[in-house]
Amino acid sequence: MSGAKNSVTERHGVYGILPPDLVAAPAQAEQFSPLIAGSHALEDVAEQSLAAMTVLAPPGTLERRYVLARSLRALRPGGALIALAPRNRGGTRLRGEFAEFGIEAVETARSHYRLCEGARPARPKGLEDAVAAGGPQFVAATGLWSQPGIFSWDRIDAGSRLLATHLPVFEGRGADLGCGTGYLAQRVLESERVTSLVLVDIDRRAIEAAKRNIVDPRAGFHWSDATAPLATGIDFVVTNPPFHESGEENRALGMAVARAAAGALRKGGELWLVANSHLAYAPALKENFATVSVIAQDQAFRVYRARK
C-alpha cells in the first residue's frame, strides 16, 4: 500500500527528447528543457524534490555542467541521475563530470552514445561553481545579457552583424524570428516609426535574456518555435534563421522560418534574412515572395530582401 502511494507522489524529471531506443523516462515525467516550449524551468524546482532525473546532456561544457548541477540540486539524496550524450558531443566527458560532482557513475556505451548512471550524494561537490559559470550573465564583449547554450551566446554572430549593418529604417509592425538575445531587435527599435516588434525564439533562455536587454514598451516576447504561425498583416520580418539540427546542416529549417514570415506579412511587406552563402535560398524564397534580391554578401553570408 505504501509502495503504491510513493509511486504516485514521486516526481521524475527529464531534460530533452530522449532517444527511445536507449533510455525511457516515466510517462508522467516533467520536461525541463528550455528548448521545448511550455516545459518547466529547472531553476524553479525546489531543492531535493525529485526522485529521479534523466538528461540528454547538451554538447557545450558550461551548459552541460550547469544542467547536471541544477539536476543534482533538484534531486533528493540518493535520487537517480541518468545522463547520456553522443560520444562526439560530450558523451565521453560525462563520467569525469559525474566524478567531479562526487558521483560514482556506471558508464555504458550504446549506439554511439555514452550513458552514465549514479545516485545523488548527500553533499554533491562543485554545484555552486557550475551554476554560476553556466547561468545567466552579462557579456561585456557584446553588451548583452546571455547564457551558455543560447546560439552565439558570448559573441555577436557574424551573419547577424552583416544583416544589422544593412537593415533599413523600418516602420509599422514587425517580428524578429529566432531573436536570440535581442541584438537585431535593438537595431530595429532604433527607428521611432516602428510601432511594435514581436521577438520569437524556441529557447526560453534567449527570451529571458532578450527581456533584460530590451526595455521598450513596443517589444513583445514569445517563447515558441519561429516556424509557428504569426499574427497576419505585419509590415516586416527580420531573421537569422537556424540551419543546423542535432549538429547537422539543414536548410529546410531556415526555409520553414521564411514560410512563416510569408504567411504573416501583408502584401508588400518585407522579409530581411541572412544565411550562409553556400546555402541557395533565393530559388526557394521566390516560391513565397514576389521579388527576392541579395542586398549584401561577404565570403560567408548573404543578406536577402524578399518582398511579398
* Residue 161's CATH number: 3.40.50.150
Distance CA 265, CA 198 (A): 13
- One domain for residues 283 and 141: yes
Using pLDDT thresholds of 50, 70 and 90, give the confidence band for residue 250: low
DSSP assignment string, 78-124: EEEEEEEEETTTTGGGHHHHHHHTT---EEEEETTEEEEEEE--SS-
For 281, phi and psi rounded to 5 degrees? -90, -30
What residue has cell string 557550475? 130
- One domain for residues 189 and 270: yes
- One domain for residues 98 and 191: no
Strand pairing category for 265-276 and 301-307: antiparallel
Cα separations (Å) of 228 from 31, 83, 263?
Answer: 21, 30, 10
> pTM (2 decimals)?
0.93
- One domain for residues 198 and 80: no
Q: What pLDDT, on a 0 to 100 scale, did the predictor assign at position 242? A: 82
Distance CA 63, CA 247 (A): 16
Grid cell listed for 189: 527599435
Please identify, among 82, 109, 133, the residue that sits at the C-terminal boundary of a domain. Answer: 133
Q: What pLDDT, on a 0 to 100 scale, did the predictor assign at position 282? A: 86
Using pLDDT thresholds of 50, 70 and 90, give the confidence band for residue 193: very high
